[in-house]
Chains A and B, each alone.
Chain A
Amino acid sequence: MAKQSIVPFGPQHPVLPEPVHLDLVLEDEVVVKAVPSIGFVHRGLEKLVETKDFKEYVYIAERVCGICSFGHGMGYCQSVEHILGVEVPRRADYLRTIWMEMSRIHSHLLWLGLLADAMGFESLFMQSWRLREKILDMFDATTGGRIIFSVNCIGGVLKDMDNGMLRRLVETLDSIERDLRPLADTFLQDYTVGTRLIGLGVLKGEDATLAGAVGPMLRASGVGYDARQLGYAAYNDLDFAPVTAQEGDSYARCQVRIQEIYQSIRLIRQAADKIPNGPISVPVKGNPNGEYFQRIEQPRGEAVYYVKGSGGKFIDRFRLRTPTTSNIPPMLDMLKGCQLADVPLLILTIDPCISCTER
């Protein structure tokens, strides 16, 4: 048996924009075990519900993570609305769906860029992020923010889109779809990219389910599970099917995410067609008393929100299970037996969001 050595990875590492630390146990160049240690961005947000008004807490919930901020706000609001028995206007549901799908496009493009960067393919990184700016411009135009939008409130949303804006959104999406084609071809057909992705970090469907993988990670292993099919917000009116791939390797994960960008574009088009007129929010009276459990599909996978209130202004407990938390165990399985040089790329393929995980 070769001698074992331990290589520390992180917390400050060029590949990851966020700090995470792994101790990699190596035998020559092969990883035999990876031991994670986390907590570098733990802030203790869940505890803040005890000192912030439940309506104010929406803003904190959005700041759990800057990439899926819209989804976190929406998940929290939906849970509280269910406890209060508030019926959100249909138009607000549609607007939430549109913003949610825009977040997905933005998040997946961001990930594609980071993946290219991890492979050292600089121009592809720049191109992906250039494309992403278009969707950020639309966020800026519709909500006033590029990253943190603060458009969710208990009882609906705070901002509306008029018909001109919806048309502009659909036109922007057309141009994104056009520009994404050559990028997608590079990711999926380029020989060099293929050598870094194909057959790497294989996770079989059964193992993925057992280890608790969620989101694109699970769907790339051939399991067609997508929490959007539960039909929250306006998803029950829209027509879509989960995107899956069979191989379960890094290439499949890349493929699933690219297809999901196209899927999101189609979903927004459908929603922009069907969106009904009407108010965008309803007044909310009273304080939450009871508990509720909400699941939504974030760009990285299924997130679970749990809210418990006992009739006061402050909520007793807010719990959030983020997709990355459940994707870490399958990632550790994946890392076993891989080459040291592939570690950064494999960590990236789960699309880790550390600030979500540690809150």
Chain B
Amino acid sequence: MAKLAKSPWLLHYDGSSCNGCDIEVLACTTPVYDIERFGIINTGDPFQADILLITGGINHQSEAVVKQIYSQMPDPKVVVAVGICACTGGVFKDCYNIKGGVDTVIPVDVYVPGCAARPQAIIDGVVKALEILQQKREAFLARRA
């Protein structure tokens, strides 16, 4: 964490969740949990985001949107799957419209299980993602040099 070059920005998208994990992600940014103490800001713009938090499984309509958002984010980037739906499909796995977890369409770096994932777990996942982001950034710079 000490080597963190800048404050990462966070983007949140709802794949096809029940909303439960979404409001927990939002709760992370509010006073009691306060993810901003790690220098993280919640943004709405994919072009400025480093960490993508996805809640809920992927369905046939959100697939294209998730892929597009992922491709719009600048390299290096990390993806955190929040909630058991986002990890594997969860209780909705058998639904006809659900393809499965987020890793069926884009690569996922950190999995945060739980239904709904607790804010503590989400923050832990994001902090892990920061480490991965740092590694990716170093690898990215080494490749460019």
Contacts and interface: CB of A to CB of B under 8 A. Distances in A.
Interface of A: 11-15, 17-19, 39-45, 47-48, 51, 59-60, 63-67, 69, 110, 113, 125-126, 129-130, 133, 136, 145-148, 353-356
Interface of B: 12-27, 30-32, 43-46, 56-57, 59, 61-62, 65, 69, 91-92, 94-98, 115-116, 118
5 contacts: A19-B65, A66-B19, A125-B30, A126-B30, A130-B32
Contact of A12 (B57, B69, B116): B69
Contact of A69 (B20, B26, B61, B62): B20
Contacts of B14: 17-19, 40-41, 354-355
A66 B96 contact: no
B19 A130 contact: no
Contact of B115 (A13, A19, A48, A148): A148
Nearest to A106: B23
Contact of A66 (B20, B31, B61): B20
Given A43-B98, A60-B91, A148-B115, 12 more contacts: A12-B44, A13-B44, A17-B26, A39-B61, A43-B59, A47-B95, A63-B115, A69-B18, A125-B30, A129-B31, A130-B31, A355-B19
Given A43-B97, A47-B96, A14 B19 contact: no
A40 B91 CA distance: 18
A43 B44 contact: no
B20 A148 contact: yes
B61 A40 contact: yes
A113 B97 CA distance: 32
Given A44-B95, A47-B95, A17 B22 contact: yes
Residue of A67, A147, A355 with most partner-chain B CB within 10 A: A147
Q: 5 tightest A-B contacts by CB?
A: A14-B44, A66-B20, A66-B19, A129-B30, A147-B116
Given A110-B23, A148-B20, A44 B61 contact: no
A17 B16 CA distance: 12
A12 B19 contact: no
Contacts of A45: 92, 95
Contacts of A41: 14-17, 56, 59, 62
A40 B65 contact: yes
Contacts of A48: 94-95
Contact of B94 (A51, A129, A146): A51
Contacts of A148: 18, 20, 115-116
A125 B22 CA distance: 16
Contacts of A145: 116
A113 B31 CA distance: 12
Nearest to B19: A66
B85 to A, nearest CB: 9
B27 A133 contact: yes
A130 B14 CA distance: 23
A63 B20 contact: yes
